[in-house]
Structure 1
Amino acid sequence: MGKCSNNLVGILNFVTTLLSIPIIIAGIWLSKQAGTECERWLEKPVIAVGVFLLVVSIAGLIGACYRVTWLLWVYLLVMFLLIVLLFAFTVFAFVVTNKGAGEALSGKGYREYRLGDYSNWLQKRVDGSTWDRISSCLQAGKLCSRFGDQYVHDTVDKFYSEELSPLQSGCCKPSNECGFTYKGPTNWVRAGNATHSNPDCNAWNNDPNMLCYNCQSCKAGMLENIKTDWKKVAIVNVVFLIFLIIVYSIGCCAFRNNRMENHYPKY
């Protein structure tokens, strides 16, 4: 069993080593191809993950295959910390994404989103300068330009029946309670001198560079996207955790085998 566990750890880490190389290459490619700040921020985490996997996998590979006990011990320590951190992040992700949901509107195919419905921790992630960077990324990515082109021929009834994404609903059109008159997907007419309790109604502007990028609903749409993505990541993390625990258990067997061979060398 001991020898088998060493071989299994070696094989698993050899595969992980091979997988880390395209991850690093992808990170470097992103740094060369990034045209906006939205794309540029991805490069460093991707490269860091790739390098981390490469170093840890090489340590596990050498420790298991060449019976280097101290290196295998370091590998198991890192694996244990990774399991703890991943477990903590998974629980945290489920907790902070537990609140918040789109509001269904009568006669509308889309939902609308309110910033106050989401957890305080998530709300703080879209404050101040952070939101300035996010909104500039959304504009650079032509979110609402594509939205306008996609629905440009819609009549008002057809537009109201569309199933819009959270970002499209929150950033590219005014809130339903503003009561604006539809002229086009990104062109709305205010109802005279009507006053509204919703601050987004005053923030709306038909200027393609403004629209509702500074609206609370736009931030809420972004949080809805984050919430959905984090829930998917959390589910994947549960599966990955099970895999890590199995690998860690096999690694412990290999470590015990190495120690026994060092204490009772074969002549």
Structure 2
Amino acid sequence: MVRFSNNLVGILNFITFLLSIPILIGGVWLSRQGTSECERFLDRPVIALGVFLMIVSLAGLIGACCRVSWLLWVYLLVMFLLILLLFCFTIFAFAVTNKGAGEAVSGRGYKEYRLGDYSSWLQKRVNSDKNWNKIKSCLQDSKVCKSLIDDRSTPVTDFYNSRLSAIQSGCCKPSNDCGFTYETPTSWTKTNTTSTNPDCNAWDNNVDVLCYNCQSCKAGLLDNIKSDWKKVAILNVIFLVFLIIVYSIGCCAFRNNREDNSWKRYP
């Protein structure tokens, strides 16, 4: 009679196997249909994740249901490494996202973002020209500033009271330090300024340039990443608990296999 732990491991891995199929199909679709560098950037990680889940789930399914001890051992080893990796990533995610926040500006509904407020590790990622050129291309493709570009009749008081996202505030308008004169949300008259903020020289009214080369744009992106990573880290904690439970059940199934093999060897 197949024991409960073996059945449970088999069911869980069968579900994981079914989930890996649409993930793999999605990765292949991205590699064939992706029209931009941003879309194609995701295809290899998605395909790798789909293949990984498929192989690991098959190892756990066959190992538990067919009593193949060595496959179940490989499955448990991979699960242990996955738990260790996820634990380290969760700690790292909390560590690099504990700094940085938007700065409230008097008389403004939006916040301003400064690159130096964020962790040095994140700053290094966006200060790399190679990385930033790809990120900038993705931001332009995603049309983060489109709503501001289209709404050219917004009165200055309404714009100053608007609730812009971190990326919109950093990439789609000049810094408040520059003191430029407002014309439209994405068109400003440059004035002589004593500000030492380098973003003042980087700003351009061209809709393909705007403040995509500004430090504030990088900071706005990092604020967005920080928020997303914190959510991911919290989900990781929940997923870690789930993985540890599955790993414990898998250990019971492995022990069952060894006991059954010993019983068959020595009747």
Structure 2 length-normalised TM: 0.96
Contact kept in structure 2, 1:111 and 1:169, CA below 8 Å: yes
Q: What's the % identity of the aligned pairs?
A: 69
* Counterpart Cα distance in 2 of 1:253 and 1:54: 22
Instruction: Quote the residue 2:248 is aligned against.
Output: 249
CA deviations 1:118-161 (Å, max 9, x no partner) are: 00000011121110111122122222233311x32210000011
Q: Which structure 2 residue ranges, 5 or more long, are not aligned? A: none
* Structure 1: gaps spanning 5 or more residues: none
- Cα deviation, 1:49-99, whole Å, max 9, x if unaligned, reads 111000000000000000000100000000000000000000000000110
Does residue 137 of structure 2 align to residue 140 of structure 1? no
CA distance in 2, matches of 1:52, 1:136: 30
The answer for the alignment partner of 1:88 in structure 2 is 88
Alignment of 1:24-173 (within 5 A): 24-127=24-127, 128-149=129-150, 151-173=151-173
User: Which letter does structure 2 place at the counterpart of 1:245?
Assistant: I
Q: In terms of mean alpha carbon deviation, does 83-92 or 26-35 score higher?
A: 26-35
> In structure 2, what residue type is equivalent to 1:138?
L
Deviations 1:204-248 (A, max 9, x none): 111112111100000001111111111111111111100000000
- Partner in structure 2 of residue 199 of structure 1: 198
SS in 1 for 2:188: strand
Residues 149, 207 of structure 2: 8 Å contact kept: no
**Partner of 2:162: helix, strand, or coil?**
coil
User: What CA distance in whole angstroms lies between the structure 1 residues aligned with 2:9 and 2:137?
Assistant: 46
Task: Tell me which amino acid in the other structure corresponds to 2:247.
Answer: Y
The answer (yes or no) to whether the contact 1:2–1:257 under 8 Å persists in 2 is no
Contact map agreement 1:2 1:254 (CA 8 A) in 2: no
Alignment of 1:182-221 (within 5 A): 182-191=182-191, 193-221=192-220
Aligned positions, number: 265
Could you list the runs of 4 or more consecutive aligned residues of structure 1 that deviate by over 3 angstroms after TM superposition?
none
SS at the partner of 1:182?
Answer: strand
Q: 1:141 & 1:198 partners in 2: Cα distance?
A: 27
2:6 alignment partner in structure 1: 6
Q: Distance in 2 between matches of 1:59 and 1:136?
A: 40
TM-score, with normalisation over the residues of structure 1? Answer: 0.96
1:187-207 CA deviation, whole Å, 9 max, x = no partner? 00122x323211101111111
CA distance in 1: counterparts of 2:166 and 2:69, whole angstroms: 52
- The one-letter code of the counterpart of 2:71 is L
Distance in 2, matches of 1:2 and 1:90, equals 36
